[in-house]
């Protein structure tokens, strides 16, 4: 690959790196396992659009029920795939830029925690005992192994941060005056956000939910659980996005044939994410009655703070692409768009990244609607929401993940791409699919179509008295887009696993298309240090979240007993009379199902 010959920039040595065989194997497993599971993940995506369009009028298909499928879809695509990938990509970036490898024991430990956790959760979901969706809001109760499994997966993903920080400090001692490579900064910021936000969800799972799910505690504080979940849940979105940002800043300009417009812009964006990512989770709880208005307003304002690093990124990357286009001979204001290597099979990663970036424009704009408290009332829990987030998590995030997984595997294994012409078309097909899909869902959402609902049973069933013909065109668009996405997804799996089956044709090396900076500003210590930013993060977190947690513990309403997804009556053994299902102020005795 020609773009990889660019070594030795600045004081850093950015030449290729030969990965130790054990590390290479772990990275392959960390990329391969979630991609294999993705086949289940996107199968259920397809099934959802089929049910929703009223093609099926039943609650289950092939032994798997709608909510079981929706749980598998959310957990596999948005939690398992993203976490495994972030760890694998982190190992690769840290090793490549710092020229040192993580320790074997900790890397293996992390891997096994994640694998065993995933297996536990997968068993619970596939056996139908945890159809509680990836947000697992109580009072829906899943099998304890579902919660334990997700907790293990998360804890496993913490270990590398400790290892990478050690490598980073070692490197910094040796290179005190060299700017921390932007990719390393992005990776560390990402995993710090992840560590802080997952502390809340670990607490939610282990202290609030598990004792209740196991039957030791009769009721649960739903508001507290939701507040803890969203402390994690919004930052999760940035944990998904930051690996894609690392690719946009560090690799996309080079792939396009140009330079990164400003290195400093990337640093500022990374640190702003550090302070703004977590203290905004309440914007998912605008409709939760226990949380008071002031907190909602404050976190809503902070949410608009997150648009700053997003706009910095949009302008910097656009300028970098313009520079690349002009170097390739583009003229006029927007002529550079026509000169980029859209279908170059040698730079297939470009296609994945540019397509993701394009979708992100729509993802970002629809996100601003969600974050606005008043507008949020209109689209809350409607199909608009999945319409929005498929243009983020299934857009830049997903395309970055699959493109980079293919790139990492192909370059480090020294194999040629299987069906390279197809590989470069997949992201465009995905974009067409998502645009149709999201138009259908967003439009549907605006005219009241609900999310998380098997519409085929009622609203899209002409035999039902609830039949709503206005949602026929919207769900049909969802179906059409979903089918295209499904086909693109399967084509990707064929390309990825097909490449794995090929014979090695060169020596594999760890190498990245590293972009030089056009404006390589001199090192400013404030933007090369973590401590002041970590302190700012802590202060804002306390201001934004202490009142929210006080609200959640002080006025949560009556505690809720355990419900299974298929029954409106709580799980219980003694006192089976009807009165026990309502007005649950007194604890009941429950069975351990
Ligand atoms: C074949 C491609 C896909 C199709 C057809 C599809 C379709 C859908 C549909 C229709 C829903 C909403 C269902 C409902 O609310 O009742 C949904 C939810 C969701 N999708 Fe996808 N999707 C696809 C790929 C992806 C990918 C690649 C990701 C992430 C990387 C993703 C993440 C999610 C998440 C997190 C939810 C929310 C689940 C929930 O509400 O609990 N999807 N998907
Ligand atoms: Cu959010």
pLDDT tens sequence across 8-25: 344 567 889 999 999 999
> In the chain, what percentage of residues exceed pLDDT 90?
79
194 band by pLDDT with thresholds 50, 70 and 90: very high
Looking from the CA of residue 240, the nearest atom of ligand 1 is 30
* Residues 6+ away with beta carbon under 8 Å from 554: none
Could you tell me the distance, in angstroms and rounded to a whole number, from the CA of residue 239 to the centre of ligand 2? 12
Strands 517-519 and 260-262, how do they pair? parallel
Q: Is 544 helix (H, G, I), strand (E, B) or coil?
A: helix
Could you tell me the distance, in angstroms and rounded to a whole number, from the CA of residue 315 to the centre of ligand 2? 22
Q: From start to end of 242-321, where are the E strands?
A: 260-262
The protein residue with its alpha carbon nearest to ligand 1, atom 34, reads: 74
In whole angstroms, what is the distance from residue 311 CA to residue 268 CA?
12
- Whether 515 and 254 have beta carbons less than 8 Å apart is answered as yes
What pLDDT score was predicted for residue 12? 67
Instruction: For residue 347, indicate whether it is catalytic.
Output: no
In whole angstroms, what is the distance from residue 257 CA to residue 273 CA?
28
Peptide bond into 555 cis (omega under 30): no
In whole angstroms, what is the distance from residue 195 CA to residue 200 CA?
9
Report the chain's mean pLDDT, rounded to a whole number: 91
Strands 64-65 and 60-61, how do they pair? antiparallel
Q: From start to end of 249-314, where are the E strands?
A: 260-262
Catalytic annotation, pick one of 44, 73, 234, 347: 234
Give residues whose Cβ lies within 5 Å of ion ligand 2.
Answer: 234
> Which DSSP state fits 339?
G
Q: Residues 148-165: what's their mean pLDDT?
A: 96
For the record, the structure tokens of 126 come out as: 């596939």
- Whether the per-residue pLDDT at 580 is higher than 70: the answer is no
Catalytic annotation, pick one of 89, 111, 147, 238: 238
Task: Name every protein residue with a CB atom under 6 angstroms from any ligand 1 atom.
Answer: 42, 45-46, 48-49, 52, 70, 73-74, 77-78, 133-134, 386, 390, 393-394, 398, 451-453, 478, 482, 485-486, 489
Sign of the alpha-carbon torsion through 135, 137, 142, 147 = positive
Q: Residues 226-254: what's their mean pLDDT?
A: 95
Task: Name the residue among 396, 413, 56, 392 with its Cα closest to residue 245.
Answer: 396
Instruction: For residue 169, indicate whether it is catalytic.
Output: no
Q: What is the enclosing helix (H) or strand (E) of 405? A: helix 398-413
* Ligand in closest contact with the CA of 233: 2
pLDDT in tens, 331-352: 888 888 888 999 999 999 999 9
Instruction: For residue 143, indicate whether it is catalytic.
Output: no
Could you tell me the distance, in angstroms and rounded to a whole number, from the CA of residue 399 to the centre of ligand 1? 14
Integer CA distances (angstroms), 426 to 348, 391, 392, 491, in order: 10, 16, 17, 7
- Whether the per-residue pLDDT at 94 is higher than 50: the answer is yes
565 band by pLDDT with thresholds 50, 70 and 90: confident
What is the chain's Cα-based Rg? 24
Instruction: For residue 283, indicate whether it is catalytic.
Output: no
Could you tell me the distance, in angstroms and rounded to a whole number, from the CA of residue 278 to the centre of ligand 2? 9
Domain boundaries, the chain: 14-290+298-560, 561-593
Q: Residues 513-542: what's their mean pLDDT?
A: 92
Angle (CA) 85 101 194, round 5°: 40
Q: What is the pTM of this model?
A: 0.93
Could you tell me the distance, in angstroms and rounded to a whole number, from the CA of residue 238 to the centre of ligand 2? 9
pLDDT in tens, 452-461: 999 999 999 9
Q: Give buried/exposed letters for 270-309 (b at 16+ CB in 10 A, else e).
A: bbbbbbbbbbbbbbbbbebebbeeebbebbbebbebbeeb
- Whether the per-residue pLDDT at 556 is higher than 50: the answer is yes
In whole angstroms, what is the distance from residue 192 CA to residue 534 CA?
9
> Which DSSP state fits 470?
T
Indicate the CATH number of 14-290+298-560 among 1.10.940.10, 3.40.50.720, 1.20.210.10, 3.30.420.40: 1.20.210.10
């Amino acid at each position: 690959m020609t773009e990889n010959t660019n070594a030795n920039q600045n004081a850093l040595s950015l030449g290729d790196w030969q990965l130790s065989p054990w590390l290479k194997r772990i990275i392959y497993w960390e990329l391969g396992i979630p991609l294999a599971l993705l086949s289940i993940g996107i199968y259920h995506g397809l099934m959802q659009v089929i049910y929703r369009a009223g093609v099926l009028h039943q609650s289950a298909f092939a032994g798997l029920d709608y909510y079981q499928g929706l749980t598998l879809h959310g957990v596999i695509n948005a939690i398992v795939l993203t976490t495994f990938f972030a760890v694998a990509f982190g190992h690769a970036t840290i090793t490549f830029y710092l020229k040192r490898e993580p320790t074997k024991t900790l890397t293996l430990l992390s891997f096994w925690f994640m694998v065993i956790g995933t297996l536990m959760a997968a068993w619970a979901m596939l056996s139908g005992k945890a159809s509680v969706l990836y947000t697992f809001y109580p009072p829906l109760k899943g099998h304890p192994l579902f919660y334990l499994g997700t907790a293990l997966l998360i804890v496993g993903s913490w270990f590398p941060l400790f290892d990478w920080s050690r490598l980073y400090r070692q490197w910094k001692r040796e290179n005190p005056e060299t700017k921390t490579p932007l990719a390393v900064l992005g990776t560390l910021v990402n995993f710090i956000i992840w560590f802080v936000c997952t502390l809340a969800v670990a607490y939610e799972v282990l202290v609030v939910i598990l004792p209740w799910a196991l039957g030791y505690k009769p009721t649960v504080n739903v508001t507290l659980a939701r507040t803890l979940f969203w402390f994690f849940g919004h930052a999760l979105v940035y944990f998904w996005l930051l690996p894609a940002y690392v690719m946009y800043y560090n690799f996309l300009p080079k792939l396009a044939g140009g330079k990164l417009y400003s290195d400093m812009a990337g640093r500022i964006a990374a640190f702003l994410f550090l302070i703004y990512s977590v203290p905004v989770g309440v914007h998912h709880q605008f409709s939760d009655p226990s949380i008071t208005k002031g907190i909602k307003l404050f976190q809503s304002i902070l949410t608009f703070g997150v648009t700053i690093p997003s706009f910095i990124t949009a302008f910097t990357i656009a300028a970098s692409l313009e520079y690349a286009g002009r170097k390739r001979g583009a003229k006029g204001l927007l002529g550079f768009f026509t000169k980029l290597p859209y279908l170059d099979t040698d730079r297939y990663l470009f296609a994945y990244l540019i397509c993701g970036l394009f979708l992100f424009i729509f993802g970002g704009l629809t996100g601003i609607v969600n974050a606005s408290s008043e507008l949020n009332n209109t689209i809350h829990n409607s199909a608009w929401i999945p319409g929005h987030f498929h243009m983020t998590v299934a857009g830049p995030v997903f395309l970055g993940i699959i493109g980079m997984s293919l790139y990492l595997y192909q370059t480090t294994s020294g194999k040629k791409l299987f069906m390279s012409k197809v590989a470069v078309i997949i992201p465009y097909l995905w974009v067409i699919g998502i645009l149709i899909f999201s138009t259908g869902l967003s439009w549907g959402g605006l005219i009241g179509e609900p999310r998380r609902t098997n519409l085929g049973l009622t609203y899209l069933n002409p035999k039902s008295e609830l039949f709503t013909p206005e949602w026929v065109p919207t769900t049909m668009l969802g179906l059409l887009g979903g089918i295209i996405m499904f086909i693109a997804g399967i084509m990707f799996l064929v390309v990825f696993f097909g490449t794995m089956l090929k014979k090695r044709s060169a020596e594999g090396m760890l190498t990245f298309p590293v972009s030089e900076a056009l404006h390589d500003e001199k090192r400013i210590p404030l933007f090369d240090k973590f401590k002041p930013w970590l302190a700012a993060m802590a202060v804002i977190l306390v201001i934004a979240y202490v009142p929210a947690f006080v609200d959640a513990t002080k006025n949560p309403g009556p505690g809720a007993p355990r419900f299974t997804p298929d029954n409106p009556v709580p799980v219980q053994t003694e006192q089976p009379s009807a009165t026990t299902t309502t007005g649950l102020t007194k604890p009941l005795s429950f069975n351990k199902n």
